[in-house]
Chain A
Amino acid sequence: MKEGIRGIFLHGFMSFAAVCVTVACLLIVGTFSSLIYNLNIMVEELNMTNEVLAYVDEELSDAEARSVGTTINRVDNVLESNFVSREEALQNFIADYENPAAFDGTDPMTLQHRYVIVLKDNRLLTETMEDLWEVPGVVDVVAFDELAEGFSTIQDVLHIVSIVVIAVLLVVSLLIISNTVKLAMYDRRDEIAIMKMVGATNGFIRFPYVVEGFCLGMMGAALAFGLEWLMYDQLVARINAVDTLQLFNFVPFQQLLLPMIATFAAAGLFVGVVGSWTSIRKFMNV
Protein backbone atom coordinates (compact mmCIF):
# COMPACT_ATOMS: atom_id res chain seq x y z
CA MET A 1 0.00 0.00 0.00
CA LYS A 2 2.68 2.44 1.08
CA GLU A 3 4.81 1.38 -1.86
CA GLY A 4 1.91 1.84 -4.26
CA ILE A 5 1.25 5.37 -3.12
CA ARG A 6 4.93 6.19 -3.17
CA GLY A 7 5.02 4.99 -6.77
CA ILE A 8 2.50 7.65 -7.74
CA PHE A 9 4.76 10.40 -6.54
CA LEU A 10 7.85 8.79 -7.97
CA HIS A 11 6.48 9.12 -11.47
CA GLY A 12 4.75 12.43 -11.04
CA PHE A 13 4.44 13.27 -14.69
CA MET A 14 3.31 9.90 -15.97
CA SER A 15 0.88 9.56 -13.09
CA PHE A 16 -0.44 13.04 -13.75
CA ALA A 17 -0.93 12.16 -17.41
CA ALA A 18 -2.62 8.89 -16.51
CA VAL A 19 -5.03 10.59 -14.16
CA CYS A 20 -5.70 13.40 -16.67
CA VAL A 21 -6.53 11.01 -19.47
CA THR A 22 -8.78 8.99 -17.20
CA VAL A 23 -10.51 12.20 -16.14
CA ALA A 24 -10.93 13.32 -19.75
CA CYS A 25 -12.22 9.91 -20.71
CA LEU A 26 -14.74 9.76 -17.90
CA LEU A 27 -15.81 13.38 -18.41
CA ILE A 28 -16.66 12.65 -22.00
CA VAL A 29 -18.37 9.41 -21.08
CA GLY A 30 -20.33 11.21 -18.38
CA THR A 31 -21.27 14.17 -20.56
CA PHE A 32 -22.35 12.03 -23.48
CA SER A 33 -24.36 9.65 -21.41
CA SER A 34 -26.12 12.36 -19.42
CA LEU A 35 -26.94 14.14 -22.71
CA ILE A 36 -28.29 10.92 -24.14
CA TYR A 37 -30.24 10.27 -20.99
CA ASN A 38 -31.84 13.70 -21.19
CA LEU A 39 -32.54 13.37 -24.90
CA ASN A 40 -34.24 10.05 -24.33
CA ILE A 41 -36.53 11.62 -21.79
CA MET A 42 -37.30 14.55 -24.11
CA VAL A 43 -38.01 12.32 -27.07
CA GLU A 44 -40.26 10.20 -24.94
CA GLU A 45 -42.21 13.28 -23.96
CA LEU A 46 -42.47 14.28 -27.59
CA ASN A 47 -43.68 10.81 -28.47
CA MET A 48 -46.58 11.26 -26.18
CA THR A 49 -47.71 14.48 -27.80
CA ASN A 50 -46.66 13.94 -31.35
CA GLU A 51 -49.54 13.50 -33.74
CA VAL A 52 -50.01 12.73 -37.37
CA LEU A 53 -52.85 14.23 -39.37
CA ALA A 54 -54.49 12.19 -42.14
CA TYR A 55 -56.80 14.23 -44.40
CA VAL A 56 -59.81 12.48 -45.86
CA ASP A 57 -60.85 12.68 -49.53
CA GLU A 58 -63.34 15.53 -50.00
CA GLU A 59 -65.39 13.41 -52.39
CA LEU A 60 -66.42 11.03 -49.61
CA SER A 61 -69.64 11.46 -47.74
CA ASP A 62 -69.54 12.15 -44.00
CA ALA A 63 -70.44 8.54 -43.23
CA GLU A 64 -67.80 7.18 -45.60
CA ALA A 65 -65.24 9.55 -44.11
CA ARG A 66 -66.01 8.29 -40.62
CA SER A 67 -65.56 4.67 -41.73
CA VAL A 68 -61.99 5.31 -42.98
CA GLY A 69 -61.01 5.30 -39.27
CA THR A 70 -61.40 1.51 -39.01
CA THR A 71 -58.82 1.00 -41.77
CA ILE A 72 -56.49 3.55 -40.16
CA ASN A 73 -56.69 1.76 -36.85
CA ARG A 74 -55.57 -1.41 -38.55
CA VAL A 75 -52.30 0.18 -39.71
CA ASP A 76 -49.31 -1.04 -37.71
CA ASN A 77 -47.97 1.33 -35.10
CA VAL A 78 -51.23 3.34 -34.83
CA LEU A 79 -52.14 3.66 -31.18
CA GLU A 80 -55.37 5.55 -31.66
CA SER A 81 -57.09 7.77 -34.18
CA ASN A 82 -59.71 10.42 -33.62
CA PHE A 83 -62.00 11.71 -36.30
CA VAL A 84 -62.15 15.50 -36.47
CA SER A 85 -64.84 16.86 -38.78
CA ARG A 86 -64.18 20.01 -40.79
CA GLU A 87 -66.53 21.94 -38.49
CA GLU A 88 -64.61 20.89 -35.39
CA ALA A 89 -61.33 21.58 -37.13
CA LEU A 90 -62.44 25.12 -37.96
CA GLN A 91 -63.51 25.72 -34.39
CA ASN A 92 -60.16 24.47 -33.05
CA PHE A 93 -58.39 26.60 -35.58
CA ILE A 94 -60.32 29.73 -34.68
CA ALA A 95 -59.95 29.05 -30.98
CA ASP A 96 -56.17 29.21 -31.39
CA TYR A 97 -56.34 32.80 -32.61
CA GLU A 98 -56.60 35.83 -30.45
CA ASN A 99 -59.25 37.45 -32.57
CA PRO A 100 -61.84 34.81 -33.41
CA ALA A 101 -64.15 37.39 -34.95
CA ALA A 102 -61.84 37.62 -37.98
CA PHE A 103 -62.97 34.16 -39.04
CA ASP A 104 -66.70 34.91 -38.85
CA GLY A 105 -68.43 33.55 -41.88
CA THR A 106 -65.60 31.26 -42.93
CA ASP A 107 -67.09 28.22 -44.58
CA PRO A 108 -66.08 24.95 -42.96
CA MET A 109 -66.08 23.48 -46.50
CA THR A 110 -62.67 25.12 -47.07
CA LEU A 111 -61.30 22.57 -44.59
CA GLN A 112 -61.13 18.80 -44.85
CA HIS A 113 -62.26 16.06 -42.51
CA ARG A 114 -59.19 14.60 -40.81
CA TYR A 115 -57.97 11.99 -38.39
CA VAL A 116 -55.66 12.89 -35.56
CA ILE A 117 -53.50 9.83 -35.17
CA VAL A 118 -51.24 8.99 -32.23
CA LEU A 119 -48.40 6.59 -32.93
CA LYS A 120 -47.11 3.83 -30.69
CA ASP A 121 -43.48 4.33 -31.63
CA ASN A 122 -42.42 7.62 -33.03
CA ARG A 123 -39.22 6.28 -34.52
CA LEU A 124 -41.28 4.44 -37.14
CA LEU A 125 -42.88 7.71 -38.19
CA THR A 126 -41.80 7.64 -41.84
CA GLU A 127 -42.88 4.04 -42.41
CA THR A 128 -46.20 4.61 -40.68
CA MET A 129 -46.86 7.71 -42.78
CA GLU A 130 -46.28 5.70 -45.94
CA ASP A 131 -48.70 3.06 -44.69
CA LEU A 132 -51.27 5.75 -43.97
CA TRP A 133 -50.94 7.07 -47.53
CA GLU A 134 -52.04 3.63 -48.72
CA VAL A 135 -55.29 3.76 -46.77
CA PRO A 136 -58.20 4.27 -49.25
CA GLY A 137 -59.87 7.61 -48.71
CA VAL A 138 -56.75 9.27 -47.28
CA VAL A 139 -55.44 12.00 -49.58
CA ASP A 140 -52.76 13.62 -47.47
CA VAL A 141 -50.69 12.74 -44.43
CA VAL A 142 -48.96 15.46 -42.44
CA ALA A 143 -46.76 15.25 -39.38
CA PHE A 144 -44.87 17.81 -37.42
CA ASP A 145 -42.03 15.40 -37.35
CA GLU A 146 -39.00 17.58 -37.92
CA LEU A 147 -38.31 18.05 -34.26
CA ALA A 148 -38.66 14.38 -33.40
CA GLU A 149 -36.59 13.36 -36.38
CA GLY A 150 -33.95 15.85 -35.41
CA PHE A 151 -33.76 14.44 -31.94
CA SER A 152 -33.54 10.89 -33.21
CA THR A 153 -30.69 11.84 -35.51
CA ILE A 154 -28.86 13.61 -32.70
CA GLN A 155 -29.40 10.56 -30.55
CA ASP A 156 -27.99 8.21 -33.18
CA VAL A 157 -24.99 10.40 -33.92
CA LEU A 158 -24.31 10.85 -30.21
CA HIS A 159 -24.52 7.12 -29.66
CA ILE A 160 -22.00 6.34 -32.37
CA VAL A 161 -19.65 9.19 -31.60
CA SER A 162 -19.71 8.46 -27.90
CA ILE A 163 -19.04 4.76 -28.35
CA VAL A 164 -16.05 5.49 -30.56
CA VAL A 165 -14.71 8.27 -28.36
CA ILE A 166 -15.23 6.26 -25.20
CA ALA A 167 -13.52 3.20 -26.65
CA VAL A 168 -10.54 5.21 -27.86
CA LEU A 169 -10.16 7.08 -24.59
CA LEU A 170 -10.53 3.95 -22.50
CA VAL A 171 -7.77 2.29 -24.48
CA VAL A 172 -5.59 5.38 -24.18
CA SER A 173 -6.01 5.67 -20.43
CA LEU A 174 -5.49 1.94 -20.05
CA LEU A 175 -2.24 2.23 -21.99
CA ILE A 176 -1.07 5.23 -20.03
CA ILE A 177 -1.82 3.69 -16.67
CA SER A 178 -0.20 0.49 -17.86
CA ASN A 179 2.88 2.45 -18.88
CA THR A 180 3.02 4.36 -15.63
CA VAL A 181 3.00 1.13 -13.71
CA LYS A 182 5.55 -0.37 -16.08
CA LEU A 183 7.81 2.59 -15.47
CA ALA A 184 7.43 2.16 -11.72
CA MET A 185 8.31 -1.51 -12.07
CA TYR A 186 11.22 -0.76 -14.37
CA ASP A 187 12.50 1.68 -11.77
CA ARG A 188 12.49 -1.06 -9.18
CA ARG A 189 13.50 -3.94 -11.43
CA ASP A 190 16.51 -4.65 -9.20
CA GLU A 191 14.35 -4.84 -6.12
CA ILE A 192 11.86 -7.03 -7.94
CA ALA A 193 14.66 -9.35 -9.08
CA ILE A 194 15.88 -9.63 -5.48
CA MET A 195 12.37 -10.29 -4.22
CA LYS A 196 11.99 -13.09 -6.76
CA MET A 197 15.41 -14.45 -5.84
CA VAL A 198 14.58 -14.74 -2.14
CA GLY A 199 11.24 -16.38 -2.87
CA ALA A 200 8.58 -13.67 -2.86
CA THR A 201 5.39 -14.88 -4.50
CA ASN A 202 4.21 -13.15 -7.66
CA GLY A 203 1.09 -11.96 -5.89
CA PHE A 204 3.17 -10.33 -3.19
CA ILE A 205 5.42 -8.60 -5.73
CA ARG A 206 2.45 -7.47 -7.78
CA PHE A 207 0.39 -6.10 -4.92
CA PRO A 208 1.87 -2.60 -4.56
CA TYR A 209 1.72 -2.06 -8.32
CA VAL A 210 -1.91 -3.10 -8.53
CA VAL A 211 -2.54 -0.72 -5.64
CA GLU A 212 -0.78 2.00 -7.62
CA GLY A 213 -2.93 1.33 -10.68
CA PHE A 214 -6.02 1.23 -8.50
CA CYS A 215 -5.15 4.56 -6.87
CA LEU A 216 -4.53 6.19 -10.25
CA GLY A 217 -7.83 4.92 -11.64
CA MET A 218 -9.75 5.96 -8.55
CA MET A 219 -8.16 9.40 -8.43
CA GLY A 220 -9.19 9.87 -12.05
CA ALA A 221 -12.71 8.69 -11.32
CA ALA A 222 -13.14 10.94 -8.28
CA LEU A 223 -11.82 14.01 -10.08
CA ALA A 224 -13.93 13.33 -13.14
CA PHE A 225 -17.00 12.89 -11.00
CA GLY A 226 -16.54 16.24 -9.27
CA LEU A 227 -15.88 18.05 -12.55
CA GLU A 228 -18.82 16.38 -14.22
CA TRP A 229 -21.12 17.53 -11.46
CA LEU A 230 -19.89 21.12 -11.69
CA MET A 231 -20.09 21.14 -15.49
CA TYR A 232 -23.54 19.66 -15.57
CA ASP A 233 -25.00 22.09 -13.10
CA GLN A 234 -23.38 25.04 -14.88
CA LEU A 235 -24.65 23.88 -18.26
CA VAL A 236 -28.19 23.29 -17.08
CA ALA A 237 -28.26 26.64 -15.29
CA ARG A 238 -27.12 28.43 -18.46
CA ILE A 239 -29.59 26.64 -20.68
CA ASN A 240 -32.44 27.32 -18.32
CA ALA A 241 -31.49 30.98 -18.25
CA VAL A 242 -32.15 31.31 -21.99
CA ASP A 243 -35.87 31.65 -22.74
CA THR A 244 -35.88 30.01 -26.15
CA LEU A 245 -34.16 26.94 -24.78
CA GLN A 246 -36.79 26.36 -22.11
CA LEU A 247 -37.98 23.61 -24.39
CA PHE A 248 -35.03 21.53 -23.26
CA ASN A 249 -35.88 20.03 -19.98
CA PHE A 250 -32.83 18.74 -18.11
CA VAL A 251 -33.11 16.47 -15.12
CA PRO A 252 -31.22 17.63 -12.02
CA PHE A 253 -27.80 16.06 -11.51
CA GLN A 254 -28.98 14.38 -8.31
CA GLN A 255 -31.05 12.07 -10.48
CA LEU A 256 -27.85 10.94 -12.27
CA LEU A 257 -25.76 10.79 -9.12
CA LEU A 258 -25.86 7.09 -8.30
CA PRO A 259 -25.49 5.62 -11.77
CA MET A 260 -22.74 8.16 -12.45
CA ILE A 261 -20.83 7.22 -9.29
CA ALA A 262 -21.23 3.54 -10.10
CA THR A 263 -20.07 3.95 -13.70
CA PHE A 264 -17.11 6.16 -12.81
CA ALA A 265 -15.97 3.93 -9.98
CA ALA A 266 -16.28 0.83 -12.15
CA ALA A 267 -14.39 2.48 -15.02
CA GLY A 268 -11.69 3.77 -12.66
CA LEU A 269 -11.31 0.35 -11.12
CA PHE A 270 -11.22 -1.35 -14.51
CA VAL A 271 -8.71 1.01 -16.06
CA GLY A 272 -6.51 1.06 -12.96
CA VAL A 273 -6.42 -2.59 -12.10
CA VAL A 274 -6.46 -3.99 -15.63
CA GLY A 275 -3.92 -1.39 -16.71
CA SER A 276 -1.44 -2.32 -14.00
CA TRP A 277 -2.20 -6.02 -14.22
CA THR A 278 -1.33 -6.26 -17.92
CA SER A 279 1.95 -4.41 -17.52
CA ILE A 280 2.87 -6.53 -14.51
CA ARG A 281 2.15 -9.73 -16.41
CA LYS A 282 4.44 -8.66 -19.20
CA PHE A 283 7.09 -7.52 -16.75
CA MET A 284 7.04 -10.62 -14.57
CA ASN A 285 7.40 -13.01 -17.48
CA VAL A 286 10.52 -11.41 -18.87
Chain B
Amino acid sequence: MIEFTDVTKSYVEGNHALRGVSMQIEDGEFAFLVGPSGSGKSTIIKLITGELRPTSGSVHVNGYSLSRIRKREIPYLRRTVGVVFQDFRLINNKTVYENVAFAMRAIGAREKEIRARVPYILELVGLENKSRRHPNELSGGEQQRLAIARALVNNPSTIIADEPTGNLDPAMSLEIMSLLQEINNLGTTMLVVTHAKDLVEHFGKRVISLNEGMIAHDGMDGYYTYED
Protein backbone atom coordinates (compact mmCIF):
# COMPACT_ATOMS: atom_id res chain seq x y z
CA MET B 1 0.00 0.00 0.00
CA ILE B 2 1.14 3.52 -0.79
CA GLU B 3 -0.07 6.31 1.44
CA PHE B 4 0.81 10.01 1.20
CA THR B 5 -0.41 12.28 3.99
CA ASP B 6 -0.14 16.03 3.47
CA VAL B 7 3.25 15.66 1.78
CA THR B 8 5.32 18.67 0.77
CA LYS B 9 8.68 18.56 -0.95
CA SER B 10 11.01 21.47 -1.67
CA TYR B 11 14.22 20.95 -3.62
CA VAL B 12 15.24 24.50 -2.85
CA GLU B 13 14.12 26.60 0.07
CA GLY B 14 10.76 28.31 -0.62
CA ASN B 15 10.16 26.51 -3.94
CA HIS B 16 7.67 23.68 -3.51
CA ALA B 17 7.57 20.80 -5.99
CA LEU B 18 4.81 19.17 -3.95
CA ARG B 19 2.36 21.20 -1.86
CA GLY B 20 0.25 19.05 0.41
CA VAL B 21 -0.34 15.81 -1.47
CA SER B 22 -2.57 13.20 0.18
CA MET B 23 -3.50 9.97 -1.56
CA GLN B 24 -3.80 6.28 -0.94
CA ILE B 25 -3.23 3.41 -3.36
CA GLU B 26 -4.44 0.06 -2.10
CA ASP B 27 -2.72 -3.27 -2.68
CA GLY B 28 -3.62 -4.64 -6.09
CA GLU B 29 -4.89 -1.32 -7.41
CA PHE B 30 -4.06 0.19 -10.82
CA ALA B 31 -3.64 3.98 -10.91
CA PHE B 32 -2.46 6.45 -13.53
CA LEU B 33 -0.62 9.55 -12.36
CA VAL B 34 -1.02 12.40 -14.85
CA GLY B 35 -0.24 16.10 -14.98
CA PRO B 36 1.68 18.71 -16.95
CA SER B 37 5.46 18.86 -17.03
CA GLY B 38 6.87 20.03 -13.72
CA SER B 39 3.73 19.21 -11.75
CA GLY B 40 5.65 16.81 -9.47
CA LYS B 41 5.01 13.33 -10.87
CA SER B 42 8.62 12.18 -10.80
CA THR B 43 9.01 13.73 -7.38
CA ILE B 44 6.24 11.48 -6.09
CA ILE B 45 7.99 8.44 -7.55
CA LYS B 46 11.30 9.39 -5.97
CA LEU B 47 9.57 9.75 -2.63
CA ILE B 48 8.11 6.26 -3.01
CA THR B 49 11.48 4.68 -3.82
CA GLY B 50 13.27 6.45 -1.00
CA GLU B 51 15.46 8.46 -3.36
CA LEU B 52 14.07 11.62 -1.74
CA ARG B 53 12.68 12.35 1.68
CA PRO B 54 9.54 14.44 2.17
CA THR B 55 10.07 17.97 3.50
CA SER B 56 6.95 17.53 5.62
CA GLY B 57 4.09 15.06 5.90
CA SER B 58 4.39 11.30 5.82
CA VAL B 59 4.88 8.69 3.12
CA HIS B 60 4.17 5.03 3.83
CA VAL B 61 5.08 2.35 1.30
CA ASN B 62 4.53 -1.36 1.87
CA GLY B 63 4.98 -1.05 5.60
CA TYR B 64 7.96 1.33 5.53
CA SER B 65 7.68 4.88 6.79
CA LEU B 66 9.71 6.90 4.30
CA SER B 67 10.09 9.97 6.46
CA ARG B 68 11.73 7.92 9.19
CA ILE B 69 13.40 5.10 7.26
CA ARG B 70 17.06 4.34 7.99
CA LYS B 71 19.51 4.37 5.13
CA ARG B 72 20.28 0.69 5.43
CA GLU B 73 16.57 -0.23 5.28
CA ILE B 74 16.07 1.47 1.93
CA PRO B 75 17.36 -1.52 -0.13
CA TYR B 76 14.74 -3.72 1.52
CA LEU B 77 11.99 -1.20 0.73
CA ARG B 78 13.17 -1.16 -2.89
CA ARG B 79 12.84 -4.93 -3.15
CA THR B 80 9.09 -4.41 -2.70
CA VAL B 81 8.89 -1.78 -5.45
CA GLY B 82 9.83 -2.54 -9.06
CA VAL B 83 10.62 0.54 -11.15
CA VAL B 84 10.35 1.08 -14.92
CA PHE B 85 11.57 4.22 -16.70
CA GLN B 86 10.98 5.89 -20.02
CA ASP B 87 14.62 5.31 -21.02
CA PHE B 88 14.62 1.56 -20.14
CA ARG B 89 18.01 1.70 -18.29
CA LEU B 90 19.23 -1.65 -19.57
CA ILE B 91 22.79 -2.94 -19.57
CA ASN B 92 23.76 -3.05 -23.23
CA ASN B 93 26.66 -5.47 -22.97
CA LYS B 94 24.58 -8.09 -21.19
CA THR B 95 22.09 -10.39 -22.86
CA VAL B 96 18.36 -10.22 -22.20
CA TYR B 97 18.71 -13.15 -19.85
CA GLU B 98 21.67 -11.60 -18.05
CA ASN B 99 19.88 -8.28 -17.64
CA VAL B 100 17.12 -9.99 -15.73
CA ALA B 101 19.45 -12.32 -13.83
CA PHE B 102 21.52 -9.29 -12.83
CA ALA B 103 18.62 -7.92 -10.77
CA MET B 104 18.37 -11.21 -8.91
CA ARG B 105 22.12 -11.46 -8.33
CA ALA B 106 22.09 -7.92 -6.97
CA ILE B 107 20.01 -9.06 -4.04
CA GLY B 108 22.01 -12.22 -3.52
CA ALA B 109 19.73 -14.79 -5.16
CA ARG B 110 21.17 -18.24 -5.70
CA GLU B 111 22.04 -19.41 -9.18
CA LYS B 112 19.50 -22.21 -8.97
CA GLU B 113 16.65 -19.81 -8.22
CA ILE B 114 17.83 -17.55 -11.03
CA ARG B 115 17.83 -20.37 -13.57
CA ALA B 116 14.29 -21.27 -12.58
CA ARG B 117 12.81 -17.78 -12.37
CA VAL B 118 14.33 -15.81 -15.26
CA PRO B 119 12.82 -17.97 -18.07
CA TYR B 120 9.45 -17.82 -16.35
CA ILE B 121 9.53 -14.02 -16.20
CA LEU B 122 10.80 -13.70 -19.78
CA GLU B 123 7.88 -15.82 -20.91
CA LEU B 124 5.48 -13.63 -18.95
CA VAL B 125 6.62 -10.54 -20.88
CA GLY B 126 6.88 -12.44 -24.18
CA LEU B 127 10.67 -12.40 -24.58
CA GLU B 128 11.29 -16.12 -24.14
CA ASN B 129 12.72 -16.40 -27.66
CA LYS B 130 15.10 -13.47 -27.32
CA SER B 131 16.94 -14.39 -24.16
CA ARG B 132 20.34 -14.46 -25.90
CA ARG B 133 19.87 -11.14 -27.68
CA HIS B 134 21.37 -7.90 -26.51
CA PRO B 135 19.18 -4.86 -25.75
CA ASN B 136 20.35 -2.97 -28.85
CA GLU B 137 19.02 -5.84 -30.99
CA LEU B 138 15.51 -5.33 -29.61
CA SER B 139 12.73 -2.96 -30.62
CA GLY B 140 11.75 -0.17 -28.21
CA GLY B 141 8.71 -2.10 -27.07
CA GLU B 142 10.81 -5.21 -26.47
CA GLN B 143 13.36 -3.20 -24.54
CA GLN B 144 10.62 -1.86 -22.31
CA ARG B 145 9.24 -5.36 -21.82
CA LEU B 146 12.73 -6.41 -20.75
CA ALA B 147 12.82 -3.53 -18.27
CA ILE B 148 9.45 -4.69 -16.92
CA ALA B 149 10.76 -8.24 -16.63
CA ARG B 150 13.70 -6.94 -14.62
CA ALA B 151 11.39 -4.92 -12.36
CA LEU B 152 9.23 -8.00 -11.82
CA VAL B 153 11.82 -10.67 -11.31
CA ASN B 154 12.34 -10.13 -7.58
CA ASN B 155 8.60 -10.42 -7.08
CA PRO B 156 7.80 -6.91 -5.79
CA SER B 157 4.31 -6.18 -4.52
CA THR B 158 4.28 -2.86 -6.39
CA ILE B 159 5.42 -1.67 -9.81
CA ILE B 160 5.98 1.98 -10.55
CA ALA B 161 6.43 3.16 -14.11
CA ASP B 162 7.58 6.69 -14.95
CA GLU B 163 6.36 7.40 -18.49
CA PRO B 164 6.98 3.83 -19.68
CA THR B 165 5.61 4.59 -23.13
CA GLY B 166 7.26 8.00 -23.56
CA ASN B 167 9.72 6.64 -26.16
CA LEU B 168 7.32 4.29 -27.95
CA ASP B 169 4.94 4.58 -30.87
CA PRO B 170 1.19 4.25 -30.16
CA ALA B 171 0.93 0.55 -31.08
CA MET B 172 3.83 -0.41 -28.86
CA SER B 173 2.53 1.86 -26.11
CA LEU B 174 -0.77 0.03 -26.09
CA GLU B 175 1.09 -3.27 -25.96
CA ILE B 176 3.14 -2.16 -22.94
CA MET B 177 0.12 -0.77 -21.09
CA SER B 178 -1.72 -4.04 -21.72
CA LEU B 179 1.22 -5.95 -20.31
CA LEU B 180 1.17 -3.74 -17.19
CA GLN B 181 -2.53 -4.38 -16.83
CA GLU B 182 -1.95 -8.15 -17.11
CA ILE B 183 0.68 -7.96 -14.40
CA ASN B 184 -1.75 -5.97 -12.26
CA ASN B 185 -4.33 -8.67 -12.81
CA LEU B 186 -1.86 -11.13 -11.28
CA GLY B 187 -1.97 -9.04 -8.10
CA THR B 188 0.82 -6.46 -8.41
CA THR B 189 -0.05 -2.90 -7.39
CA MET B 190 0.55 -0.59 -10.36
CA LEU B 191 1.25 3.14 -10.48
CA VAL B 192 1.85 4.48 -13.99
CA VAL B 193 2.92 8.03 -14.81
CA THR B 194 1.94 9.00 -18.33
CA HIS B 195 1.15 11.83 -20.69
CA ALA B 196 -0.80 9.61 -23.06
CA LYS B 197 -4.36 10.81 -22.71
CA ASP B 198 -5.85 8.33 -25.16
CA LEU B 199 -4.27 5.37 -23.35
CA VAL B 200 -5.57 6.56 -20.00
CA GLU B 201 -9.06 6.84 -21.41
CA HIS B 202 -8.75 3.46 -23.16
CA PHE B 203 -8.07 1.61 -19.92
CA GLY B 204 -10.63 3.37 -17.76
CA LYS B 205 -8.67 3.06 -14.52
CA ARG B 206 -8.25 5.39 -11.56
CA VAL B 207 -6.54 8.64 -12.56
CA ILE B 208 -4.71 10.90 -10.13
CA SER B 209 -4.16 14.32 -11.72
CA LEU B 210 -1.44 16.52 -10.42
CA ASN B 211 -1.11 20.25 -11.04
CA GLU B 212 1.55 22.52 -9.59
CA GLY B 213 2.36 20.10 -6.82
CA MET B 214 -1.21 19.49 -5.72
CA ILE B 215 -3.78 16.83 -6.55
CA ALA B 216 -6.29 18.49 -8.87
CA HIS B 217 -8.46 15.47 -9.37
CA ASP B 218 -8.56 11.81 -8.31
CA GLY B 219 -11.16 9.41 -9.66
CA MET B 220 -12.30 6.74 -12.11
CA ASP B 221 -13.77 9.22 -14.59
CA GLY B 222 -10.92 9.37 -17.07
CA TYR B 223 -8.29 11.96 -17.94
CA TYR B 224 -8.76 15.27 -16.20
CA THR B 225 -8.07 18.46 -18.13
CA TYR B 226 -7.31 21.73 -16.44
CA GLU B 227 -8.59 25.05 -17.41
CA ASP B 228 -5.19 26.76 -17.86
Q: Which residues of A contact B (CB under 8 A)?
A: 190-191, 193-202, 204-205
A199 near B78: Cβ-Cβ < 8 Å: yes
Among candidates A193, A196, A197, A204, residue contacting B108 with C-beta atoms closer than 8 Å = A204
Number of interface residues, chain B, beta carbon within 8 A:
19
Residues of B within 8 A of A194 (CB): 89, 91, 102-103, 106, 150
CB <8 Å contact, A198 and B91 = no
Q: Is the CB of A190 within 8 A of B102?
A: no
Q: A202-B72, A202-B75 are in contact. Are A195 and B91 (CB under 8 A)?
A: no
The answer, yes or no, to whether B79 is at the interface (CB within 8 Å) is yes
Give A190's nearest chain B residue, CB to CB: B91
A205 to B154, CA, bound (A): 17
CB-defined contacts of A195 to chain B, threshold 8 Å: 102, 106
* Residue ID in chain A nearest B49 by CB atoms: A197
Chain B 87-122 against A: per-residue CB contact (8 Å), 1 yes, 0 no? 001010000000000110011100000000000000
Q: Is the CB of B89 within 8 A of A199?
A: no
> Are the CB atoms of B102 and A191 closer together than 8 Å?
yes
Expressed in whole angstroms, the Cα–Cα distance for A205 and B108 within the complex equals 11
**CB-based contact A198/B107 at 8 Å:** yes
In the bound complex, residues from chain A placing their C-beta under 8 Å from that of B76 are 199
- Asked if B150 and A198 sit within 8 Å, CB to CB, the answer is yes
Q: How near does chain A come to B213, taking the closest CB pair, in angstroms?
A: 25
Shortest C-beta distance, A110 to chain B (Å), equals: 89
* Listed A/B pairs (9) with beta-carbon separation below 8 Å: A194-B89, A194-B150, A197-B78, A197-B83, A198-B103, A198-B151, A199-B75, A199-B76, A205-B106
A191-B91 contact given A197-B83, A199-B106, A200-B107, CB 8 Å threshold: yes
Chain B nearest CB: distance from A281 CB in Å? 12
A147 CB to closest chain B CB (Å) equals 63
- A201 and B91 contacting across the interface, CB-CB below 8 Å: no
Shortest distance between the CB of A229 and any CB in chain B (Å): 42
- Contact between B108 and A198 (Cβ–Cβ < 8 Å)? no
User: Within 8 Å of chain A (Cβ to Cβ): is B77?
Assistant: yes
